[in-house]
Amino acid sequence: SVNDIYPHDVIRGLNGQARRWLHLLVKFQEIYKCPADFVSRSPGRHIDYMLYEVLPMAINADLLIAVAVRPLEASDSTSKIRIRNINSSKFADREFLVPSKGDVAIDASVNEWSNYFKSGLRGALELLRRKRGGKEFSPVGMDLLVDGTIPSGGGLSSSAAFVCASALAVTVANGEKMVDKTELVELAVVSERAVGVNSGGMDQSASVFSLRGTALYVSFMPTLRTRAIRFPATQPELTFLIAQTFVQADKHVTGPVNYNLRVVECTLAAEVLAKKLGLKKPLPKDAGPLGVSLRGLQDLYYEEMEGVADNNKTPPHEFHKQLEHILQLSKESLTATAGYTREEIASILGITIGSLDERYTSRFPVHTERFLLRQRAQHVLTEALRVLDFMSLLESPPEDSESLLRGLGAILNASQQSCRDLYNCSCPELDQLCQLALGAGAYGSRLTGAGWGGCSVHLVPLDKVEAVKEVWEKEYYRKHFPDISDERLREAVVVSKPGSGSYLFKV
Ligand code: ATP
Ligand code: MG
């Protein structure tokens, strides 16, 4: 057993990741009185989208699930899941039964950690049934122990890592030998929606597909595709610092005025712009949360105006020009700087307020008097341009490292400014962390994840890492949280090089 081979004092002698993995396996054996069969792992990610391409990176912080399979008794048609957490004071032990037919029940109205496992379980079982020709089968029981190091609710997508690692664990436990990464991502995207928050696909992609030393180029059209972009070697070495604000937007409370409202605003911006530009066909259906997007508007515009049949085939530099043109058109057409009311939007679209609400604002709750279509469209379109610019810098870097790093940094800074002023998803704490970092030598700083608190990401030359950390401690953490513990202070900042995606480790 793991216990015999690696007794506790051996584990104490190890450091870092090796120690954490062994601790998980030993704990597993202590709790369940048998060794784990395998560990499923998925990392967090940093950097965001609107069906335009994105460029997230996996970080080194991750979520591990140690798993032992409990085969079914022949007579038994339900199986049991027992799930525990290394951090048992925050995440209490849970047990539940998996029905052999139908869906796993999830109560999304409560904020319950095991829901994220259940949503991965539900998605994986659907996939397994599909693979078995739609036949019902009895899923195995499982004993599970979870250990996560991704700060949760902090914009690093601990939820996606959890769902991806769960779906991977369930798929493998039920006998699949090969797990297709695209299938895994697609099922994890759909699964996480069961927990009640709208998710776009990037988090799960980054968690599953990332490769060490790369950023992941994710495109959603026509279907989800990814490509790893290697970071060029630079002098000084390129490092990302991730700093938490320790302020958190509770999505269940602020979703209706922040996150979900932005989804609605971006969708309405696309519809209103399409009307103002006189497009004839309806916007194409896509995988966005409300079925249409600014990306779809761009495709339709170029189809109707210039006969571009498949805009997915347009080369990047042409696409860049298109984006700039759509940006210009959006500035000329969406002129209401103080936003649009429901009445105004309904009248532009030629529909009743009732059908506007039914189509756009009833899927998830939003509360607002005015929809800031102009600002949101500008943010989304310029962000798409910045992703393309960031990519081309990585793919054809300038000769000297300094101009590469300055170039990348300037894009991050422009992004933060747009998040703050046009998308209104920053907050004073995020702004302050960015200001402090830039003053201490960072090349570029921005929020990451949904915003409104959570985390920030900073491109920092290796020789400035200590200076940046120091100024944050003094000017941010100790000032905002005078009683902060040393442990919490250590957790506040993660030094991260682009890390690797999901994998499975057989014990
Ligand atoms: P964001 O979605 O902003 O990128 P996030 O994914 O970390 O950040 P949420 O989507 O709110 O934030 O998900 C956080 C939830 O995921 C927690 O409330 C908890 O239920 C679950 N979770 C995350 N990490 C763990 C963990 N290590 N153990 C158990 N549950 C966890
Ligand atoms: Mg999340």
What ipTM goes with this model?
0.98
The pLDDT value given to residue 196? 62
Backbone angles phi, psi at 478, to 5 degrees: -70, -25
Q: Which residue has the least CA distance to atom 31 on ligand 1?
A: 113
The pLDDT value given to residue 257? 79
Query: In DSSP terms, which residues pair with 420 in a beta bridge?
Result: none
Map tokens 């249409």 to a residue. 292
Query: In DSSP terms, which residues pair with 148 in a beta bridge?
Result: 63
Q: Strands 38-46 and 57-70: what pairing?
A: antiparallel
CA–CA gap between residue 442 and residue 456 (Å, rounded): 12
What is the widest separation between alpha-carbon atoms in the chain? Answer: 73
CA of 313 to the centre of ligand 2 (A): 32
Report how far apart, in Å, the C-alpha atoms of 199 and of each of 188, 311, 339 are: 10, 24, 25
CB distance 162 to ligand 1 below 6 Å:
yes
SS3 labels along 405-456: HHHHHHHHHHHHHHHHHCCCCCCHHHHHHHHHHHHCCCCEEEEECCCCCCEE
Q: Known catalytic residue: 203?
A: yes
> Which of 122, 74, 68, 71 is CA-nearest to residue 99?
122
pLDDT, averaged in runs of 10, over the chain (507 residues): 52 69 92 94 69 75 93 72 96 92 84 94 92 85 95 80 95 90 86 71 81 78 79 82 86 76 94 98 87 94 97 94 98 98 97 95 86 97 93 90 93 96 95 98 91 90 94 98 90 78 75
Other C-beta atoms closer than 10 Å to the C-beta of 474 total 11
Q: Which two tokens stand for residue 315?
A: 């080369």
CA of 87 to the centre of ligand 2 (A): 19
CA–CA gap between residue 259 and residue 493 (Å, rounded): 25
CA–CA gap between residue 263 and residue 273 (Å, rounded): 16
The pLDDT value given to residue 347? 98
Report how far apart, in Å, the C-alpha atoms of 456 and of each of 184, 262, 447 are: 28, 20, 4
CB distance 146 to ligand 1 below 6 Å:
yes
Which atom of ligand 1 sits closest to the CA of residue 91?
29
The pLDDT value given to residue 103? 81
Please name which ligand lies nearest the alpha carbon of 252. 1
Report how far apart, in Å, the C-alpha atoms of 290 and of each of 260, 279, 281, 390 are: 11, 19, 17, 28
Catalytic residue among 48, 147, 203, 431: 203
CA of 148 to the centre of ligand 1 (A): 9
Other C-beta atoms closer than 10 Å to the C-beta of 425 total 22
Domains and CATH numbers, the chain: 2-230+500-506 (3.30.230.10), 259-424 (1.20.1440.340)
Map tokens 């900042």 to a residue. 493
Backbone angles phi, psi at 238, to 5 degrees: -85, 130
Q: Which residue has the least CA distance to atom 15 on ligand 1?
A: 159
> Which of 204, 202, 40, 195 is CA-nearest to residue 119?
195
The pLDDT value given to residue 3? 47
CB distance 155 to ligand 1 below 6 Å:
yes
Neighbouring residues of 267: CB distance < 8 A, sequence distance ≥ 6: 288, 289, 290, 291, 292, 293, 360
> Which of 57, 158, 419 maximizes ligand 1 atoms within 8 Å of its Cβ, making it the mutation to test the pocket?
158
Neighbouring residues of 376: CB distance < 8 A, sequence distance ≥ 6: 262, 265, 266, 269, 422, 423
